[in-house]
Chains A and B, each alone.
Chain A
Amino acid sequence: MQSLLPWLPDHPAFADAVKLAKEQPVGRDRLAAVIHLAGCRRDFVATEKLDRLAGSSIEPAAVSAANLSSASLAILSSHTVDHLGPAIRVAGLCRRLALATYFTPYGLYRQALLDADPKLAAFKPQFILLALDAYELNPNVPLDAGDAEAAAAIEASVTDLRRLWQVVRERFSAQPIQQTLVPTAVPLFGSFEGLVPGSPVALTDRLNSGIRAAAREDGVLLLDLAWHASRVEDRSAIGDPVRWHQAKQLISPGFAPLFGDWVARIVGAALGQSRKAVVVDLDNTLWGGVVGDDGLEGIQLGQGSAAGEAFAAFQRFLLSMSKRGIVLAVSSKNDSAIAESAFASHPEMVLRRSDIASFHANWDDKATNLRRIAEELNLGMEALVFVDDNPAERHMVRRELPAVAVPELPDDVAFYPARLADSGCFEATSYTAEDASRSRSYSENIQRKTILQQATDMKGYLKGLSMTLAASNIGPVDLPRATQLINKTNQFNLTTRRYTETEVKRLAESPEAVALSFRLRDRFGDNGLISVILARADKSLSEDALLIDTWLMSCRVLGRQVEAAAFEVLIGEVSRRGIRTLVGEYRPTARNGLVVDHYSKLGFVPLRGDGEPGEATFWRFDLEHGVPPAHFIKVERS
């Protein structure tokens, strides 16, 4: 049987490994063993075993040792979903999430929301998935209904859903995730179905379009099950009538591992855990053959051969991914000049050398190159995806750098794009202008680095950049990107608090809070929205003091005094409101050692900080007497 999770590697002795994991003491050792197995190919029975095995090992100390993010997800459904819980949780482990799940009995989704179910409220879901289906939602209009009647019925259904989304947000402070409707109705007219407004298949289709448009407007995330279902080969996986009649299951138990992954990757993406860069090999990955042996004329690429076209198609896919905001890098065992020459001189190359943000062609091992690439791009290993046709290289990287995602690849390069897409490594929950221009900004950054190397003094370099920092209160335009940054910034992040769009919006609208976003331009281009500061009143502080709840910045603009300029804006904003004291908080994590001295550099004095190492420290800045540091950045306030 073909694997449901073909991008995951096969474990050579899965059953034995499960037995070994069982012998591990409950806690971090067992959890580590289960996480490893969750990242291997597994069927639904094995997945359920892993879920039982993880069970009580998912406790705070083990979760933090395994570097998992905790998240809570409630699933409110109009069909049976209890059998999907284990697969959702195990997929979470595979995607660095400790997912707590809560299910309401099937069919009671509306009651749970509208009656503000106390059990659901007590669970405090961050995410609520509305797992609905066409049996439940298809509007009840006569088959011979006209277009207007069908449209009105669809409109009413969408309006009803939007009310539920609003309840999810307002009563439960959760991010709604809406499942689209699998077309379970059987066509009555054949292909003509779509031309009959009142036909069940046409109604489902139209309702899905309505749901997508409304979700976009309302900032609701989609689990686009209708779209997924159309790509699934096994027709008994989703909407099998036998399972429906037997148990009101829309998703067959055997299909749970893939469904679980679809859900977990959305939650992961919303928490900023999607991968940010793809590192590709060259020979037999971007083109067929070995350029060092076969020469430029000898490699297969582009028109002239079917294989060459398939490699070119893979390059086109990567180029589109880079336009989507995924950074491209190369790690290849090759002579550097020969590898570069393929980019410079091969007429059929789709990717240009300027599309590659970090290029390492040499004879070092791949793990060494991946470390270099991560450092150059200022990214962690968990942001990288490694794509190499050679199974031995993949195996080596998995062993040396377990945080890097290394998808298994099919034998045929024609299926590489689909495999990378299916792997869910790059699941998105937003698409912003910053994403669209990310690759350009990476190459601009390389130019800046060159200037820095040429400049004789730091001051001269910074002045020469002619930087302008534009600050504004976080409004509807900046909300998606600000939320994205809050959830994915790890290094320059003082508190690493993650917030959903709903939470950020609420804070931004609160009169007692300050929510600022910052954009940086310089002579090389626009860096986009690169920093966020959230400050709010706190019970532990006096009325004329604000706590800096969140301060983070993209590492792309590190070392350019942006924090000093941002601080100037913050001081201006709070002094206008009569605030006299700012309190900064630093919560150390494994990743944010970079900012340990942030507040002392800005002129704050330590407030409480005599606790255990690893605990939060607090810092105080007195607006009347404090002296903020100077900088070379022009500030614009809107």
Chain B
Amino acid sequence: MTTQEIYAALTEVFRDVFDNDSIAIGPETTASDIEGWDSQVHVTLVVATEVRFGIRFRTAEFETLRNVGDFVRLIETKCAGRA
């Protein structure tokens, strides 16, 4: 999966979870940019991402997911490690 493909797939996940088809995400996007991104939805977002990419984040990694760039870097590593 290329970085671009990951962004495209992750955008779908965000749009699905926040039920908002106009959401656009970039590496610097954080919880303060998206309405409704609270700590509870954060877990939902993490799980939806895991399901979409067929990966699992480790307990310690959970706390490092501060912006969308963090999500994408970890997804890249995990998808690469699996291939």
Contact = CB atoms under 8 A, between A and B. Distances in A.
B43 A45 contact: no
B16 interface: yes
Contact of A1 (B44, B47, B51, B59): B51
Contacts of B40: 80, 82-83, 247
B68 to A, nearest CB: 18
A638 interface: no
A246 B59 contact: yes
Interface string A229-248: 00000000000011101110
Nearest to A247: B43
B28 interface: no
B44 A52 contact: no
B35 interface: no
B74 interface: no
A43 B59 contact: no
Nearest to B51: A254
B77 to A, nearest CB: 18
A43 B51 contact: yes
A249 B62 CA distance: 14
Contacts, number: 45
B19 interface: yes
* Chain B interface main SS type: helix
Interface in A207-244: 241-243
Interface residues of A, number: 21
A595 B43 CA distance: 53
A253 B19 CA distance: 16
A247 B59 CA distance: 11
Nearest to A52: B19
A13 to B, nearest CB: 16
A549 interface: no
A22 to B, nearest CB: 9
Given A247-B40, A254-B51, A45 B17 contact: yes
Nearest to B39: A247
B59 A253 contact: no
A620 B39 CA distance: 60
A80 B39 CA distance: 12
Interface string B32-53: 0000000110011011100100
B43 A83 contact: yes
Contacts of A531: none
B62 A83 contact: no
A48 interface: yes
A7 interface: no
A604 interface: no
Contacts of B57: 242
A45 B57 CA distance: 19
A49 interface: yes
A44 interface: yes
A242 B59 contact: yes
B43 A245 contact: no
A80 B38 CA distance: 14
A253 B43 contact: yes
A82 B59 CA distance: 21
Interface string A36-61: 00000001111011001000000000
Contacts of A1: 51
A75 to B, nearest CB: 15
7 contacts: A45-B48, A80-B40, A242-B58, A242-B59, A249-B43, A252-B47, A253-B47
Given A246-B46, A247-B39, A247-B40, 11 more contacts: A43-B51, A44-B44, A44-B48, A45-B17, A45-B48, A48-B17, A48-B19, A242-B62, A253-B47, A253-B48, A254-B51
